[in-house]
Structure 1
Amino acid sequence: MQIERDPNGDFILQPADLAERFGLTSDDFRRKMQKGLLASTVEVGEGEDAGTCRLSLRLGNRLWRAILDSEDRVMSEEMTFVRGQLLRRP
């Protein structure tokens, strides 16, 4: 997977690569992204993890995470399923 940064330092990932990881076609992935169904976070490593970043992208109950080294190369990645939260009734 190719990961780049724009001039502001934001990560740029290819939609086709992400679609594959989520088991979707590129068109389906783009539609979900345009509807605002994709959430992402970036965590910067500290202490012994300094120089690394963890990217997390969530779509529905699926969560893809990648750990990047100091040169933005993928060191590891995983896809997991997130358990839904139970609704509490008043």
Structure 2
Amino acid sequence: MRFDLDERGDWIVDIDELAGKFGTSTGYLQHQIRLGILKSFLESGNDEENKGASVTVRAGKMAWRGTFDRTGFLISECMLPEAP
């Protein structure tokens, strides 16, 4: 999985790959985006040891977090516990 920049400099994640992380279909994630219930959060590394970025995507009660190196390659990932 890669974390890429688009032509405007915004970070993007392939929705097909992301759907696989949630064990659901691309269409279902797109539906959640249209409803405004799929949320994402980006944390950029700002110190010398953490030069990459972490993205958290929450879809309903499930959440996935991926950590990417500076070149955009996924280096670690996990599913997060349900939000309270």
What interval of TM-score do these two structures reach, taking the shorter chain for normalisation?
Answer: 0.7 to 0.9
Equivalent positions of 1:67-82 (< 5 A) are: 67-82=67-82
Query: How big is the shift at 1:83?
Result: 3.4
Letter in structure 1 aligned against 2:37: L
TM-score (norm 1): 0.82
Equivalent positions of 1:2-81 (< 5 A) are: 2-81=2-81
Unaligned runs of 5+ in 2: none
The structure with higher relative contact order (CA 8 Å, sep 6+) is 2
Query: How big is the shift at 1:58?
Result: 0.7
Aligned partners of 1:49, 1:7: CA distance in 2, in Å? 28
Letter in structure 2 aligned against 1:45: G
Aligned partners of 2:73, 2:42: CA distance in 1, in Å? 15
Larger radius of gyration: 1
